[in-house]
Amino acid sequence: MKKTILTAVLMTVSAVIFAQSAREIVDAALKIKKPSYNHSMVEMDLINKAGNVEEHRLIDELGRHNAETDTSDVVMNFKSSTNKSNQGIKFLQMENKGKDDDKWIYMPSLKTTRRVNSSEGSKSFTGTDASYDDMSTRELDDDLHELLGEENKNGYDCWKIKSTPTAETVGKAQYQYRIQWIDKKTKVPVYVEMYDKKDGTLVKVLTVDSIENIQGYTITTATTLKNVKSGHSTRIAAQKNPKSPNGYNIILDKPIPDSVFTQNYLNTAK
């Protein structure tokens, strides 16, 4: 009887330790040191099931991070696209703590900027495999985190963690759960599986293709997001520049005017 009780206690303690460890690991991933400002040129390819590039885009991306509030804002300016109708799109996302992020998009065909409502979260972002909700980072306690073990993934020594929406957030969550492989060295989630909210089947996979240390920051320089059901994927990569000190068209910690992170900038690009 005593042995049975002791075993039950040890199993409970072990489960609590694992739960705490998983939460701490995800917290560390969310707290990766970020530059105050980030200005980069990004190449985006929309790739069909056969592996052919359907559309190539060049995007001017400007970001800022407030260390005090731990929030980030980003502007994406579609400078060019092989699909001319998408050239000139601009997108602004301003992160909020404790509530939905603010998002606006400028469509050149309509010559107007509109707010992206939270009800549109599951819709595709400009025809990519990412939804508007995928553009936002979930808060640490939006999910319950479970450490499934340790595993090598694509050459990275990782913690494997399952993140399931809490009872409070499940109504607004896009996925039933996510499984993340978080690299022990960099704390970057290098591989993420997202499971359908309705039937629990695998729907999307995010793969980090390259990570660089630039000016002391851990920067993800290329990722691929694949829709498992359709076979379509979206690849995003920082544009390379052999003349740049870091090898990319990336400028870090150079101040960007506050006026850039406004709806007016989306309308005028000034």
The terminus-to-terminus CA distance of the chain in angstroms comes to 75
Q: What is the structure's pLDDT at 17?
A: 47
Q: How many residues does the chain have?
A: 270
Assigned domain for 117 exists:
yes
What pLDDT is stored for residue 20 in this prediction? 52
- Residue 27 in any domain: the answer is yes
The predicted structure's pLDDT at residue 13: 42
In the chain, the percentage of residues whose pLDDT exceeds 90 is 88
User: In this predicted model, what pLDDT tens digit does every residue of 10-30 receive, in sequence order?
Assistant: 444 444 445 559 999 999 999
Question: Average pLDDT over the chain, rounded to whole?
Answer: 93
Question: What is the sign, positive or negative, of the torsion defined by CA atoms of 94, 95, 99, 105?
Answer: positive
How confident is the model at residue 110, as a pLDDT? 87
Structure tokens belonging to residue 234:
């979206």
Asked if the structure places residue 5 within a domain, the reply is no
Question: Is residue 66 one of the residues assigned to a domain?
Answer: yes
Residue 140 reports pLDDT greater than 60: yes
Written as six digits, the tokens of 217 are 């920051």
Total count of domains within the chain: 1
CB atoms within 10 A of CB 207: 17
Close Cβ partners of 220 (under 8 Å, ≥ 6 residues apart): 188, 208, 210, 211
| 159, part of any domain | yes
For position 254, what pLDDT does the model report? 98
**pLDDT at site 96:** 94
Q: Tell me if 3 is assigned to some domain.
A: no
Q: Please, are residues 197 and 175 in contact by the beta-carbon 8 Å criterion?
A: yes
CATH of the domain at 60: 2.50.20.10
Is residue 1 domain-resident? no
Reported as a pLDDT band with limits 50, 70 and 90, residue 41 is very high
The verdict on residue 4 lying in a domain is no
* Mean pLDDT across 185-206: 97
Type and span of the H or E element at 24? helix 2-30
| pLDDT value at residue 176 | 98
Domain encompassing residue 158: 12-268
